[in-house]
Structure 1
Amino acid sequence: MTNNIKTSSLGYPRIGKNREWKKTLEAYWSGKINEETFRAEMAGIQLQHLKTQQQAGIALIPVNDFTFYDHVLDTAAMFGIVPSRYAYDGGDIPLDLYFAMARGNSAAPACEMTKWFNTNYHYIVPEIGGQTPRLIENKPLAAYRFAKEQAGIEGKPVIVGLYTFLKLSKGFAADKIVEVAARFLPVYVQLLQELQQEGVAWVQIDEPAIVTGLTGEEVELLGTIYREIAAAVPGLHVLLQTYFEAAEPLEALLELPVQGIGLDFVHDGGANLASIRRLGWPEDKWLGAGIIDGRNIWRSDLDAKLELVRALKSHVPDERLILQPSSSLLHVPVTVQGEDKLKPAVRQALAFADEKLAELSLIAAAAGEDGQVYAAALAESREALNVFRALPERGRQDVAEQVRSLDKLPDSRSLPFAERVKVQQQKWQLPLLPTTTIGSFPQTPEVRQARLKWRKGVWNQERYDGFIRQQIADAITFQEELGLDVLVHGEFERTDMVEFFGEKLAGYLFTKGGWVQSYGSRCVKPPVIYADVAFTGPMTVKESLYAQSLTSLPVKGMLTGPVTILNWSFVRDDLSREEVANQIALALRYEVQALEEAGIEMIQVDEPAIREGLPLKAEDHEQYLNWAVRSFRIATNHVKATTQIHTHMCYSEFNDMIGPISAMDADVISIETSRSHGELIVSFEEQEYDKGIGLGVYDIHSPRVPKVEEMTQAIERALRVLDAGQFWINPDCGLKTRGWEETGAALRNMVQAAVIVREKSGAVSR
């Protein structure tokens, strides 16, 4: 039987099996290699990625998914969209200017960075002002030529679609999007014409913004964009690619003049298949069927995938069916190879990028030919999943009983905030505009080396504990000398704000090489929730108590919240995310209690990822927010009225979250505003927030040290809409990735700015 089903990849992890990409970037930034060496090494990494997909038997291999920092930044730079503060002259964009937009420099702050839809990947937000878009460099064309010349691959260029690019940008009013699109359409057309002239067969145009919902005007705009493209490049095969959710209304997309449409059949809740069954599939279009999970790390149930493919084949002929992951694989690690420390039952249930591509090829072959040829491979996969699913730790009765008993727990603090705040002010006696940090201090090479020596057994527990105590003592002295009002212990014992807790909770496992890109060169190794999560003993009390013993100032206990632990982990896929979040919340409840009983009565439970878990469709927001807020309250609402609960959030669109954030009932929230240039302050001009709040006054993701005047202005602007009695002064996030010198300089300026504003107000205490 002939197999006409094609396979495709939507994007491959950039970082490399051993994070070669990250190391090359950081070597260039630190001046260890020059630009020529940097580009040569990056080309080698790119070539290896192409060959890996070629060897996996993928028919349509993506090109231009590789980047030096971020694919959205690439798109902006390609069209000359550079903010005016960089004094760009309109010519070629030098590499250092490209990186300055991402990281800032001594002359100008970085562009805003925010989450890519509901993932933990961050993109650089384009700033579209009055620039005239021009095709500075056809990056997809260069990537296509590279793949063809270096590996003999007829690649499939990947482009961020115009609609999505504009939806992800800032700098123009929402009602001007049609006018802005008209300015960009000619350069998009030019880009595609050059690809067609080169002989490109397929182009993947990513339009994930479609899945967030379309108004009638937006459907019309999409029609305008793709009709103009179709008229300009009539022979080019365009795959309009969506992912992360169902594409609705699908009937509107089916009318667009494109040759193929890519749909996510993993994270769509069954809606895409239901739409195809209802509408049928046009005879003149290809279907890119995203059947392998591009965002999680579990082996596929191949029987279920084959059943899905058979359902699709009843509507789409084999020769127009393309099997692919549900999204780019940049959200998963590179390969399971090397994970020899995991027990076999678990290791065999994992599939990273390379294994997912192998699954894809197997499914395509088994779906298109005599299934008996692949019976042994299918049986092997089936048995591996059965063994994994039967592990006893995945069905603990004690955990299930605790979750069932949640309705018996109180749903609120013992006193409402309006009454709590009075007793807390009396207890803590903090100055007006108290200064603090978000939690972590620089993780120096010395700290990382000490941890590595301890993990390898070179240092025993006593020596490592002594080292950590010295780091904590130095951090307390450092903060006291700076004049901070509320201190932290620095988190030197923690590799990662989620991994640290996962290592101390039941139900987690950890990989050796399971790294994924978070932003820029920042890579994280998400822990894996493979079984029921449960508390096993105090996790943070020892370090917090030691830090508090060194100072008379309050020291915050530092925890990561249940929704962030959930969203920044790879999560088992046999339970709802709500149920897993509740398991985590119950475990953290015990930890909060242990801290309070030990005398730590300022406790920060960070939820930087609560918004990124928000469903992409507005109609699903309320259900998610209800259980997300509930899980936070499960973890925190049992403390005394005088115990002050803090939380922290990153990159939140605060104006549409103010109600749920208030419902979390934290006494103090800190939130990022620096990269968004204070735009979140507008939320408080429109809505009232009655609890304590710290709006980050400087950006920790850039090495730039802001001046005192700059932070003073940020504080004073916030105080136009916030009461000074509720306002805290802090950086916008933790300081783990910064150096001590820049950290000291920035915090010193921050404290000085707070003092200046206090003196102007004529008050020194609440």
Structure 2
Amino acid sequence: MKTTTLGFPNTYQSLIKQTVERFWRGAAGEEEVRRAFAEVEEYNRRAQKNLDLVPAGDIDLYDRLLSTAVRFSLAPSRFGAPEETARSLSTYLSIPRGAEGKPASPMVKWFNTNYHVVQPEIERDPKWQKEAALPDLSDSRAKLALIGPWTLLSYAINKTPRPMPELFALLGAEYRAFIASLPAHTIVQLEEPSFLTRGIPDGYGDFLKGLERAVHLHVYFGAVNDLADRLFAFPVAGIGLDFVDGPENLSLLAKFPKDKALVAGVVNGRNVWPISARTKELLGTIRASVPDERLYISPSCSLLHVPLSAKGEAFPFSFAEEKIAELASLKSGNAEFAPFTPHPAALPEERFERARKTFWVSPIAYPTTTIGSFPQTAEIRKARKDLREGAVSEAEYETFIKERTKECVERQEKLGLDILVHGEFERNDMVQYFAENFSGFTPIKGPVQSYGTRHVRPPVITGDVDRPRAFTVPWTTYAQSCTKKPVKGMLTGPVTIVQWSFPREDMEKEAQYYMVARALAKEVKDLVAGGAIHIQIDEPALREGLPLDAKRQAHYLRHAVNAFRLTFASVPDETIIHSHMCFSEFGDILDAIRDMGTDVLSIEDSKAKGKVAASIRASGFPASLGLGVFDVHSPRLPEVEEMLAIPSSLDMDPRRVWINPDCGLKTRGEEAWTQLERMMEAVRILRERFARSFSAGDGSALGGKSP
């Protein structure tokens, strides 16, 4: 039995994150960025030195889907010629951020994870770019981690007249040429998780026949039972299966081909719990069917979804380095297995919903707000660090945050925004902050890459969740005391809190949604008691949590949406419920979106140019929509004409069309205020157009204090 992984985190000492961000600020050059990347690669090689197969090419400066797209010329021409994009770091790193006159490429979730990828844009025929960097493959134990052509195409936006089968044939030829250039000993880890979502395309077997290197074909994030006959017949040296997210794969062991290696994902690559009695049983079942000489054991997927090392953590979690040690212990037979006791919980049959069955509509055309957070400056981050280290007192910190909050409210008022927010300066993260104020969570120190240079620290659900005391209410109440305009209470929804945490493995996820929802319902109740009229409960992870297995989707959606409604089921009729969703393919969950019961749903639509709003509107969505009219993940200043295009294209009552950024402004700097100024100029033009035909309201019924 041998060991391998599918990938490792790129988060060592946050070197890549920090150096790339310095590069964007003009404080580091390309050579410094390349050195930082090489240092992380070397650290990862050392950490995995005892594996029998070590992945190379499994990390990137931004994301692997983007680098794979660039390697095969699937990057937008607005950033330059394919050769330039492959050669120049400056050009490459402008694709996800955008530049003046060059909007950033769209970003979406990587399957059902909280990892985001930049979508390839196909504007020309694929062509292998020989200038693209290649990892060191000189070690005979090295394998090249390569996203497969079908998964690459499945995530791409096709702007050419060529149909998908033609593009696949062309791209496959370029893959063959690239793979033929690799050292002869190289094993190619070809990753095709899109087989689970898009099936296997015609001609895939012919594509594989033309490859001149040994291939391990990996399908992770689910079971391959419906694909097994075709998959097992492919001419490859090995097949990688996920036995954690796809336990049904166990039923395929009896017919697994005897001429292929099995790369068995038996260690959970998406959670941080140590191997347990379940792992022992799982591995025993696999070894009873597949002999050790044809068996590799590995994590279920890339370890980019977990932190690097659990050293210094408050609990004996298993992060990436610990999982490497677990693989070694499984191989040697010296593994220590934690006990595992399931805790089944009955899911509610009751449908939770509020008493009011109609949806509130703004009395004014094109009402405005923001999604919640405002820029977290270096000064704010330092204040939070000083509080942690005891350099300032709680009272001093609170005074500082109140000053920033009051300033933020005043600037929003000056801009003319209709519904204000407090800015969330006291919050380190939209999930971590809640975990630190709930019982039943254990915060962690190690970062996880969410996208590009954005790192998060997902907490771990380690017990039963409750809310001991109100913690958002004082900040909302204080912000409201600074203005006569309404201030939204800001909460993260139960599905997103669970999805963006490391959940318990002994309890069904849906049960954990309800557990968190009941805790949040207490905070909602206290916000209402504190005078909040508008309350926003964000659920950006609702689509992300959708199982890849279609047979499980109805169960998930029923309970995920029901848990969301539970958080506000008891509010009075006058309470106005908002929610926010982003970076997802919403077409699969339109019925669930209609069933959420929100008065206002704000969406990320700037990169989709209004297509998301149009699809939700066409589905019969009965409430109001907030259009994300500019991209907050780019410092680029959008043109007013761009922001006018989305609402102007939507056939909808302007009083049900909200104008807002496409996400929170936490990651932006001072340019966020200029972006908002331009947004408000667009709103002025929209309202003037509307006023020519209808009499606009004065906004006095928006829910704030009377002037």
Is the CA contact 1:735–1:743 (under 8 Å) kept in the aligned structure 2?
yes
Percent of residue pairs bearing the same amino acid type = 39
Shift of 1:738: 0.2
For the pair 1:738 / 2:668, whether they are aligned, the reply is yes
Q: Does 1:178 align with 2:155?
A: no
State yes or no: 1:237 paired with 2:214: yes
C-alpha deviations, 1:330-374, integer Å up to 9, x for none?
0000011122xx2xxxx23x10000001101111221xxxxxxx3
User: Is the 1:684–1:722 Cα contact (8 Å) retained in structure 2?
Assistant: no
Q: Secondary structure at the match of 2:660?
A: coil
Counterparts of 2:475 and 2:565 in 1: how far apart (Å)? 24
Contact 1:672 1:732 in 2 (8 A): yes
Following the alignment from structure 2 to structure 1, what is the Cα–Cα distance between the partners of residues 144 and 289?
A: 27
Query: What is the CA–CA distance in structure 1 between the aligned matches of 2:552 and 2:346, rounded to whole Å?
Result: 24
Q: How far apart are residue 433 of structure 1 and its match?
A: 0.7
- Separation (CA, whole Å) in 1 of partners of 2:187 and 2:82: 34
| Residue number in structure 1 paired with 2:369 | 436
Query: Could you tell me which residue of structure 2 aligns to residue 598 of structure 1?
Result: 530
Please say if 1:332 is aligned against 2:306: yes
Distance of 2:436 and 2:281 partners within structure 1: 37
**Unaligned regions of 5+ residues in structure 1, if any?**
367-373
Equivalenced residues, count: 693
Match runs of 1:107-256 below 5 Å: 107-129=101-123, 131-137=124-130, 142-145=134-137, 148=138, 152=139, 154-171=141-158, 176-195=163-182, 198-212=183-197, 214=199, 218-219=200-201, 221=202, 224-233=203-212, 236-247=213-224, 248-256=226-234
Given candidates 93, 98, 101, the residue that maps to 2:95 is: 101
More helix, by proportion: 1
* Structure 2 residue aligned with 1:296: 271
Other structure's SS at 2:567 match? helix
CA distance in 2, matches of 1:600, 1:14: 42
Which amino acid in structure 2 is aligned with residue 38 of structure 1? Answer: V
Aligned to 2:684: 755
Structure 2 residue identity aligned to 1:566: V
Change (3 A) 1:89 1:185: closer
Partners in 1 of 2:348 and 2:220 — Cα distance? 35
Output the TM-score relative to the length of structure 2: 0.95
CA contact (8 A) 1:263 1:288 kept: yes
The one-letter code matched in structure 2 to 1:459 is V
The 2-side partners of 1:503 and 1:706 are apart by: 36
Mapped contact 2:613–2:625 kept (Cα < 8 A): no
| Runs (5+) with no aligned partner, structure 2 | 700-707
1:701 alignment counterpart: 633
Q: 1:483 aligns with which of 416, 432, 435?
A: 416
- What is aligned with 1:644? 576
The CA deviation at 1:174 is 11
Query: What whole-Å deviation, never above 9, does each CA across 1:238-267 have from its counterpart, x for those lacking one?
Result: 000111111132111001111111000111
* 1:413 aligned residue (354, 373, 376): 354
**How big is the shift at 1:208?**
0.7
**CA distance change for structure 1 residues 681 and 593 in 2, over 3 Å: closer, same or farther?**
closer
Distance 2:591 2:621 in 1: 9
Code of the residue aligned with 2:355 in structure 1: it is: S
Measured after TM superposition, the shift of residue 520 of structure 1 is 0.5
Alignment correspondent of 2:702: none
Change (3 A) 1:537 1:232: closer
Give the Cα separation in 1 of the matches to 2:524 and 2:283.
Answer: 48
Show the counterpart of 1:558: 490
What residue is the counterpart of 2:474 in the other structure? 542
Partner residue in 1 for 2:655: 725
How far 1:483 sits from its partner (Å)?
Answer: 0.7
Structure 1-normalised TM-score? 0.87
Q: Deviations over 1:146-173 (max 9, x none)?
A: xx3xxx5631001110111111111259
Q: Deviations over 1:89-110 (max 9, x none)?
A: 6555421111111110112011
Paired AA for residue 20 in structure 1: L
Distance (whole Å) between structure 1 residues aligned to residue 97 and residue 583 of structure 2? 16
Q: CA deviation at 1:452?
A: 1.0
Partner in structure 1 of residue 53 of structure 2? 60
Kept in 1: contact 2:55–2:145 (CA 8 A):
yes
Of 222, 233, 245, 1:267 maps to: 245
Q: Deviations for 1:519-571, whole angstroms, at most 9, x for unmatched residues?
A: 11000001111101012110211000010011110000000000000000011
- Equivalent residues in 2 for 1:653-668, closer than 5 Å: 653-668=585-600
SS at structure 2 position matched to 1:143: coil
Shift in Å, 1:445: 0.6
Change (3 A) 1:25 1:730: same
Task: Please tell me whether the aligned partners of residues 144 and 154 of structure 1 are also in contact (alpha carbons under 8 angstroms).
Answer: no
> Hey, what does 2:548 align to over in structure 1?
616
Runs (4 or more) in structure 1 with deviation over 4 Å come to 89-92, 172-175, 403-408
CA distance in 1, matches of 2:577, 2:452: 32
Change in 2 beyond 3 A, CA 1:157/1:760: same
> What is the letter of the counterpart of residue 281 of structure 2?
E
Separation in structure 2 between the aligned mates of residue 461 and residue 144 of structure 1, nearest angstrom? 50
**Partner of residue 504, structure 1:** 437
1:466 aligns with 2:399: yes
